[in-house]
A and B are shown apart, each in its own frame.
Chain A
Amino acid sequence: MSSMRFAISMLSVVGLASIIGTVLQQNQPYESYIVNFGQFWFELFEMLSLYNVYQATWFLLILFFLVASTSLCVYRNTPQVVKDIQRFQENIREESLKRNKYALEVPFKDFKRLELIDFLKGMQFKIREKKINGQDDLIIAKKGDFQKLGYIFTHMAIIIISIGGLMDGNLVFKLKESMGIKQIEMQDKPISEISKKSWLEISNFSYRANMLLAEGESQDVAVIPVKDGYLIQDLPFSVSLKDFKIEHYASGQPRSFESDLVIKSKKNGEILTRKISVNKPLTFEGVTIYQSDFQDGGSRMNLDLIDLHSIAGPLNMKAEVFKHNVMIVDNKKVNFEFEDFRLFNILDIGPEKNKKPKNVGPNFRFKIRDEAGQAREYETYQLPMMVEDRYFFMSGMRNSPQEDYKYLRIPADADRSLEGFTIFKSLIHNGKKIDKAANQLAKKNLIETKEVSQDLANSFKAIFENFVSGGYNNIAMSIDSNVPEEKQEQVASTYIKIIHLIADQLILDYQDNNPTSTPFNFDDVTVFSQDALNGYSDSFFYGSNFWVELRDFDHIQASGLQLTKSPGQFWVYLGSIMLVLGIFCMIYIQEARLWIVRKKGSKKITLAFASNREHLEFEKFVLDTKDKIKRFYSH
């Protein structure tokens, strides 16, 4: 098991598993996996724990084997390394010295043994002396022992880091789970109803848990997501959120998230008031509290439901995020489920190629669920947005979370409000006004016909009312069934022209009757009228009769906190320091051994060098050392 081959193959498996973990997004809701892979593959992948590879038992087992293998390796090799460090290779034979690749003879006048030894010591050599053949001098010098220690350092470091990591892993929980002491909670329940089996005690020595805290709220437990369920972690203190603040750059992008927290110890009632923000956590009683994200904390909204297809006045509705509102419409229950409110929305806005991030103001999201339980999702912006140089109110609709939102655009009037569209809507539903407009239009004789008659006006009116009852889609359907194919295009463009002209006329008439009214104060009101027709027509595909208008709101935020107890961190950091030191020793310390022999009475010495790594750098070192010794003798 201590063999390199074993370690390398284990490492390869770890590498492969890690790659799977990056390609397959981890810890997603299980439904999204089912949707993506289908039931068969979903079950197979789940069996292999591929949705949380890094917490999988088999993965931890491999890591364990790696640690064991490395430990064995260190255990086996350390004595040898220690021996190597102590050893001076004194029993080297003369012949092998002569055969040495770097052997060199240096002549001298005076041997100066003691000075030579001092000189070598000055060059960081450790020295041992010996007599060989009973008379000749042998000096054994060596340096760079730390290189060998580097080996032990790096391997020890890996063991220490792994142990630290395992301490912070969920091994203890896994064990308790397999013994049936603990169990993951799968259902969304109030905390008081959650079984004690899914609670982790304050004494739990390592965890990473989340807490979502609304402004003004206080909590003393946190949630640990596990697989497709969760656990409750009891905390040694309670946390309350006084205030949550987001600050923005001039361009609108968020600059900082900050939570004003009040923390109260359960043990001694000690109270700590502190502000935390991203990159600036707080540690209290061994638990570190981080700012991680934020969301809505149940904002209250005052809404108007505007019927898009009738002239009925708006219905008022008071709503709160995360709550449901039931409205009775045409004797049917319609369920509004509010899901989110956002005060700031940064969108890239502007002409293609030159889009710039800009804050477009608040939006809110909700679902409308009908009696059959079918739900559509909506996302509506409070303020109008500039699109192609005009302002529109925008609301997106989609039938399922997998789809993109399709946006309904209602034009803002000259006062940037919905008033103009409301007036427009009442105008196009007013039979008398349409009559009048149709007659005027027929009289003006703009269409290329010679007869001016009531018939013409009547048919104009019929076309327009056909539009009002179902938008352009209605017109297209009636053309499809009544007009021969080759003429359809021509007829369609005539019809559209008629609809545009009547709508323009309706607005002009309105302006004539209400000269002080401001919503239609445009340079060219026909642009508005066409946008309004388009918006009206599209609203038949909006899936709801109601446009939900946000009148005012009370913004309540919730701060997402992360609470971590990580006893392994110290060991991981310690191991990391050792690792860097070890690598540094292994790579940058030159290990070298030098033997100097002087035969009795001889006027020269023989040098020989060796190293466990004889590369270019070592050759340079040898040349350098030889030079220095030569110079030592030539002085």
Chain B
Amino acid sequence: MKKNMYDYGFVALLSLLGLYALTNFYSYMDNYEVAILVSSVAGFSYLGIKWARFRYFFIASFVLTFLSIYLYQGDLGQSESKFLLKYILSSQSAIMWMTALFPLSLLIYWFYLFSKKEFYGNFATCMVWIAVVFASAGLLIRWFESYLIDVEVGHIPVSNLYEVFILFCLIASLIYLFYEEKLNTKKLGPFVLIVINAAVGFLLWYTLAKNADVIQPLVPALQSYWMKIHVPANFIGYGAFSVAAMVSVAYLLTENIFWRRHLPAKEILDEMTYRLIAIGFIFFTIATILGAVWAAEAWGGYWSWDPKETWALIVWLNYAAWLHLRLIKGLRGNILAWWSIAGLLITTFCFLGVNLFLSGLHSYGEL
């Protein structure tokens, strides 16, 4: 009964937030954006009810964000003079905290794997949660900062490689944390955090070598409410596939007696891979379809065989075949695990390689 109280409380809080946004910013929104806002409130409420910890995460991110907004007082220059902004609550600093906490949690997870002391496992999970809060607060604050530059420049921070890499870290971690809790698989943390830290490494390099963290205004093709749906949906797909591949690595390691003693049971790993790929596949399908609808509106055709589109199709076919073999042919075991690891390579190429090596309509994040 008590749990229900919290559920209602969270839903009420979200609805209030949504109402606040609607009453204050309605004149800046089109109907689609209102619909996106309403469904976000519904979606996050659902997540919060299904998953209690998500509520704390959500509230923590928003508290940090609002604190930051309060400190800025409408002036971007404050980030240089105010201590809290300069070191914690400007988007740059929040993201730097995230990039520090992910490697730390990777280390603790590995320590936990061999020490087997629950304390370290909980500690590592806790670090990931804090990193995730910083990631999401960092993005939200960046969103706000872009409006401080100029109302015309302001946009949701999912428009270039730098921003989507943060989004990737955020979503992949959340997906992992969800299954870690539901299937009690803390011992997979050491593996999953590898792929997240690879993204963190790229992000750091990209920031330092290319100054990628500067907020740029949107090119005309990206000025659409579609971006708010298409990109996050895609990254749920990418995130789930990446985590699945790391679980598959653990699955293959259990062939070895040494690792078998340290890792969860094979059936659980198998189940988790399946669930991750399934949820990733659904979101990836939806994202690709929404991308096609957007392309029809912006580029004049729902499918142009643009390199990104083509690689998205290859990724889709790959996981479609994976699910097909598992669900219809009942295939299990190492082949599927190897396949899911290969899937990560294809996914990475689609996500990053296309931007690095190929040119096309999706060239929003060239190096």
Contacts and interface: CB of A to CB of B under 8 A. Distances in A.
A253 B300 CA distance: 23
B289 A580 contact: yes
Interface residues of B, number: 48
Nearest to B279: A587
A580 B359 contact: no
Interface stretch (B47-55, B67-75, B280-288): B280-288
Contacts of A278: 220-221, 223, 298
A93 B289 CA distance: 47
A286 interface: no
Contacts, number: 114
Interface stretch (A19-27, A111-119, A170-178, A396-404): A19-27
B267 A616 contact: yes
Given A22-B310, A23-B358, A253-B217, A580 B286 contact: yes
Nearest to B222: A279
B150 A249 contact: yes
B100 interface: no
Given A255-B217, A580-B286, A279 B224 contact: yes
Nearest to A616: B271
Interface stretch (B5-13, B254-262, B301-309): B301-309
Contact of B292 (A11, A353, A576): A576
Given A25-B359, A255-B152, A256-B223, A288 B300 contact: yes
A1 interface: no
A8 B321 contact: yes
A431 interface: no
A616 B268 contact: yes
Given A255-B220, A583-B285, A21 B297 contact: no
A251 B217 contact: yes
Contact of B314 (A15, A165, A208): A15
B340 to A, nearest CB: 16
Interface in B281-336: 281-282, 285-286, 289, 292-293, 296-303, 305, 307, 310-311, 313-314, 317, 321, 323-324, 327-329
A580 B300 contact: no
A616 B271 CA distance: 7
A580 B285 contact: yes
Contacts of A290: 298-300
Interface in A244-283: 249-251, 253-257, 277-279, 281
Contact of A564 (B152, B278, B301, B317): B301
B274 interface: yes
Contact of A279 (B281, B298, B301): B298
Contacts of B224: 279
B278 A576 contact: no
Contacts of A255: 152, 217, 220
A587 B240 CA distance: 15
A613 interface: yes
Interface stretch (A360-368, A377-385, A522-530, A565-573): A565-573
Given A249-B153, A580-B285, 19 more contacts: A11-B321, A19-B314, A23-B358, A151-B328, A249-B217, A254-B220, A255-B152, A278-B220, A278-B223, A279-B223, A290-B299, A569-B296, A572-B292, A579-B289, A583-B282, A583-B285, A587-B281, A588-B278, A616-B271
20 contacts: A4-B329, A11-B317, A18-B313, A22-B360, A151-B328, A254-B219, A255-B217, A278-B221, A278-B223, A278-B298, A569-B296, A572-B302, A580-B285, A580-B289, A583-B282, A584-B282, A587-B323, A615-B271, A615-B274, A616-B267
Interface of B: 150, 152-153, 211, 216-217, 219-221, 223-224, 267-268, 271, 274, 278, 281-282, 285-286, 289, 292-293, 296-303, 305, 307, 310-311, 313-314, 317, 321, 323-324, 327-329, 354, 358-360
Interface of A: 4, 8, 11, 14-15, 18-19, 21-23, 25-26, 53-54, 151, 165, 168, 208, 249-251, 253-257, 277-279, 281, 288, 290, 292, 353-354, 562, 564, 566, 569, 572-573, 576, 579-580, 583-584, 586-588, 613, 615-617
